[in-house]
Structures are given as structure tokens and as C-alpha cells.
Amino acid sequence: MSKTVAIFFPGDYRAKPNKLAQPQVREATEQLTRALKKLGRRPRQIRGFLCKPSDAIEKLRPIDDPMIGLFCHWTYAPHTCDGVSGKDNPLLLASNFSGTWPGLVALLNTSASLESLGRRHSRIWSDAADWTKDRQFMNRLEQWCSSGQIPYDESELHYSAPISAKAAALADEVAQEIRQRPALALMLGDTSMGMINGYFGPRRLNRVGFTEHKVDQAWLISRGKFISEQRIEDAFKFVLDRGVKFHWREKGAEDFTEEATRAQLRMYLTVLDLIDEFKADCVGWQYQLGLLPLLPPSDFSEGLLNSVCRPESNGDVVITATEADQGSLLPMEMMKRLLKRKGLHPGVMFHDVRWGAKHKGRFLWVLLNSGSCGAYAFNHDERTLKGVHSYRQPAGYFPIPGGTFAGESLPGEMTWARAYIKDHRLWMDIGRGEVVKLPPRVRDRWWNATTREWPFMAADVGCSMETVMAHYMSNHICVAYGDIFGEMVALSQALGFKVRILAS
């Protein structure tokens, strides 16, 4: 293997996140460079962030040396994938494992996207102050430098689980329901910020009992004009009466006002009408990169749809996957149906696998993503919106003001899942875990180290951090309160998913 190693920097399409991340990128680059030199390698940097697919094609395609992509903030998967697919030189994705800017989130998304394309690669990470003194990191880096691959422990990966007769029977009822009428996903656009791993398309969806109908996001504007002011005012009164705490006009968010919330309620009602028109079962709502100069963010609208307590409610949640992520939308809809059959609350929360740390000897993940977390996580009471806070989405990313749907997730037993593509098949990762309540001081330190305006969940996902970082095939995770583990395994198998269980 060549002694020369090319280091490249996947980037965001937007200039602001790239600029904000530069200090961390510089620090991590120095760490990685020192580590490679200590192993006798000759690192060379590919200058500048790869901010478009064309950057990846032009800068990475000509390289035959081993390559390392360094992830210290959110990046788009095509800014790596489009430059390395079709090649087979050794490829390593590296992250600094920090919650400040979501580099490890980008690593997981890009790795899952490469897996869906069949491109061989490895992962590596460190949170050490000096990477050269992180023994495990250096051993893995040396392994990759000599062989082009890194082996990881697979003892927590399982491909079957005992399922009770009762769980199997309940899952069969839901499977029959889906076979008789496929679950229709209303897609407001598809894919988001280059999440290749999050779009399956009708050819795969129809094999597992789902189908999709795409509508243009421009309808949010054109159809939104016909939502009556009375409906908006009724919805506005509803969310106030049910207990949402709006952080209007706070320091640094002076432009976040009641009118911004009304604009988000207009969007919510527009999508509610589209759901009714197309008789959709669930919704994939694309992150609105193209609509940023035209509309407020959709977070508050999505949080309402994922709540039973909402304006013009039919007494049920409408499963809504933010960022149009079908890898989350499918398990969320499946879990909702299992929860209802079992007499549990039907809400399913969807988060980024954002960061994590040990607390009292136990590794806990910080899960947070504004949009697809309903109010039930914050209050365990489907009759109210108490516990919901709406903060202005950070202005650096969202020029038009709009609120999040945030809160602290309550403790409890949980089941989690996520679908993905591997070997041209749909797979489902499933696990058990626990949402944990942290002491306020620890909670606030972790929350402030990530994105304080977003909903917060501290969770033990039932397997080690190493297993998640080495094997998990997504930057997203879907969480339901309650034990539907056996039912979810059985239902996934019945619908045609290959199942993988992550458990210690």
C-alpha cells in the first residue's frame, strides 16, 4: 500500500457551516497528520472543502493513493460518494467524535451511503486530546495503513432473536393489514442534504408493503395561500391553550415572533390537507434547503404532526419523518402500528445519533433532531402539549425565523429501529434500550454542547458505543417508548426485511 495518504475534507453545501467548523477541522487535521507521520506515512491534503458533487468528482476521482475523509461537521454524502464510487483504493472515514458540530453524524450518514452503493471503506474516530496517545485509534490506523481495512468486533451483532407466540401473532396482524393496503408515504420532495442512504424508491418500498407519492414542495407555498386565516388563528389558540412555551423575541432571536409561528401553522395545515386529499398514512418532509429564503423551517409543523394533541387532530399521530428519510419513515410507521395494537401510545421519535459520553460508568447517547419528535416524549400525556418549547432555529442556518419543537425527553423503556440498504436489500436494525434522566447539571452541559434549541434525549441503546460507531448504518434512529422488540423483529421479517439486532 502506498506510503502517501490523501486527506480530504467533505463539506456542507452552505458556506456558513463550513466556516464555523474550520477551527475544529484544523485541529483534527493536525491530529491526523501527526498520527500518520508517526506511522511512517506521507499525508497530503486536498485543499478546500468539497462542497458539491462536482468537487468530489474532480478532486477525488484522479486519486489512486489511500484516502481519508475527515468529518468534523455536517457534510453531504455525495461530496464524498460521487468522488470515490467506482474506485477501490483504500478509503477511511475519520471523525473527531465531538457534539459541537455533528461530524460523527456526517460520518455515519456517509458510511451508510457508501454501504448502499457497495463501496468498501472503514471508519475511525477519537475523542482523545492527543490522537497519537489513543492506543486503540493508533492500532486501528496502523491496521488500515497496512491492509486498507479495519476489522471491528461483531459480538454484539445478532441475526435472530426469540419471539413469543403472542408477539408473533400481533406482528402477523399488522403484516396482514399492510399487505391488504400498502402504507402510502406522502413525500414532500425526496432525499435531503445528500442523504443517499435515506431514499429507497418504489422498487424497494413495494417489496416491503410501502409505496410513495411525491408532491412538489412548492405546494407548501401555492396551496398555503388558500388556508383561511380563521383556521390559522384557531390553530394558534390551540397550541397556546395546550401549553407550548414559545420563546419569542428572546436575546439573539428578536425576529422570532407570533407571525413566524402562524406561518409554520399555515404549513402544518397545508400538509394536513394534502394528507387528507391523498389518503396518505405517513409523511416524509424534506429539509427545505431550496425553500430557506421563502419559508420558515418546518420543525414546529412536523412536531405537531407527530403528536396526538394537535390542531384539527383525528386522535392519532401522523408519522412524519423529517429530512424525507425513508429509512426512518418505514420503521416509524411500523412501530406506530405495533404500539397501537399493543395498547401503547403510538408516538415514535426520530433523532440524530448526535454524540455521547459516559455517566456513572454507563455510555449514553445524546439523541436530538428538531422535527420528528412529538410532544409525548416530553410529557407522557397525549392530551397536552405541556413540556414543548419552541425556540428560534439558529439564524446562521435559517434566515427566515421559525420555531423548533423541543423539550427534555422523559425516562422510560424504549425500542429502537432503523432501515437501510445493504447488498441491494432492505435491512432493519432493531434494539432495546432506555431513555435516562440526567441530573440537571449534566443534562445542561450535554445539551449546551450540542444544539440547545432542539429536543434532548439521553439514551442507552443496549449496545456499546464501539458497536454503534463501527457498524450502525445511519445518522438517524427511531425510538418508541415501551417494549415492542419482539413484535418489531417479527414484523420486519414478515414484510421482507433482513434483520440485524444490536445488543450486548
State which residues form the domain around 323.
Answer: 165-502
- pTM more than 0.85: yes
Q: Quick one: pLDDT at residue 12?
A: 94
Give domain status of residue 158, yes or no: no
Q: Does residue 155 lie in a domain region? A: no
392 close to 452: Cβ distance less than 8 angstroms = no
Q: Please report the pLDDT score of residue 396 as a whole number.
A: 83
Burial class (CB in 10 A: 0-12, 13-18, 19+), 179: exposed
**Is 153 part of a structural domain of the chain?**
no
Q: Is the pLDDT of residue 290 over 90?
A: no
User: How confident is the model over 284-305, as a mean pLDDT?
Assistant: 91
The conformation of residue 287, written as its DSSP 8-state character, comes to -
Q: What mean pLDDT do residues 420-445 have? A: 97
Q: Is the pLDDT of residue 288 over 90?
A: no
- Claim to verify: residue 137 and residue 185 sit in the same structural domain: no
Residues 31 and 107 grouped into a single domain: yes
Say if residue 96 is in the same domain as residue 217.
Answer: no
Assess whether 113 and 215 both reside in one domain. no
Q: What are phi and psi of 282, to 5 degrees?
A: -155, 170
Cell (9 digits) for 2 = 502506498
Q: pLDDT category, 106, cuts 50, 70, 90?
A: very high
- Among 147, 178, 206, the domain boundary falls at 147
**Mean pLDDT, residues 208-225:** 96
113-128 confidence digits (pLDDT tens): 999 999 999 999 999 9
pLDDT at 164 over 90: yes
Q: Quick check: 20 pLDDT over 80?
A: yes
Band the pLDDT of 254: cuts 50, 70, 90: very high
Specify whether 233 is located in the same domain as 322.
Answer: yes
Per-residue confidence at 361, pLDDT binned at 50, 70, 90? very high
Average pLDDT, the chain: 96
Q: Quick one: 247 and 193 in the same domain?
A: yes
Q: Angle at CA 457, nearest 5°, toward 451 and 461?
A: 125
**Is there a single domain that holds both residue 143 and residue 181?**
no
DSSP SS3 for 177: helix
**In-domain check, residue 310:** yes
Write down the pLDDT at residue 429.
98
Q: Is residue 62 very low, low, confident or very high in pLDDT (cuts 50, 70, 90)?
A: very high
Residue bearing the bigger pLDDT, 281 or 194: 281
CATH number at residue 67: 3.40.50.1070
> Do 10 and 79 touch, CB atoms closer than 8 A?
yes
Q: For 366-425, what is each residue's pLDDT tens digit?
A: 999 988 999 999 999 999 999 999 999 999 889 999 999 999 999 999 999 999 999 999
pLDDT value at residue 240: 98
pLDDT on residue 189: 85
441's CB contacts (< 8 A; 6+ apart) are none
- Phi, then psi, of 280 in degrees rounded to 5: -80, 150
Q: At what angle do helices 103-117 and 15-38 cross, to 10 degrees?
A: 80
Could you tell me if residue 160 is inside a domain? no
In CATH, what number is assigned to the domain containing residue 464?
A: 3.20.14.10
Strands 412-422 and 476-481: antiparallel
pLDDT digits (tens, 9 = 90+) for 468-480: 999 999 999 999 9
From 121, 147, 173, give the residue that closes a domain: 147
Q: Where are the beta strands (DSSP E) in 286-410?
A: 320-322, 349-359, 362-368, 389-390
- Residue 458: pLDDT band by 50, 70, 90 thresholds? very high
Which of 115, 147, 179 is the C-terminal boundary of a domain?
Answer: 147
Statement to judge: residues 92 and 196 lie in one domain: no
Spatial contact of 174 and 334, defined as CB atoms under 8 Å apart: yes
Angle at 372 between CA 371 and CA 374, to 5 degrees: 100
**CA 9, CA 47: separation in Å to the nearest integer?**
8
Give the DSSP per-residue string, 105-164: HHHHHHHHHHHHHT---EEEE---SSGGG-HHHHHHHHHHHHHS------TTEES-----
Contact yes or no for 43/21 (Cβ under 8 A): no
User: Can you name the residues that pair with 499 across neighbouring β-strands?
Assistant: 428
Place of cell 458510511: 111
The fraction of the chain above a pLDDT of 90, given in percent, is 95
pLDDT average, residue stretch 351-359: 96
Closest by CA to 319, choosing from 210, 215, 223, 221, is 210
Task: Using a pLDDT cut of 70, give the percent of the chain over it.
Answer: 100
pLDDT score recorded for residue 287 = 75
Domain count, the chain: 2
185-206 residue pLDDT tens? 999 988 888 899 999 999 999 9
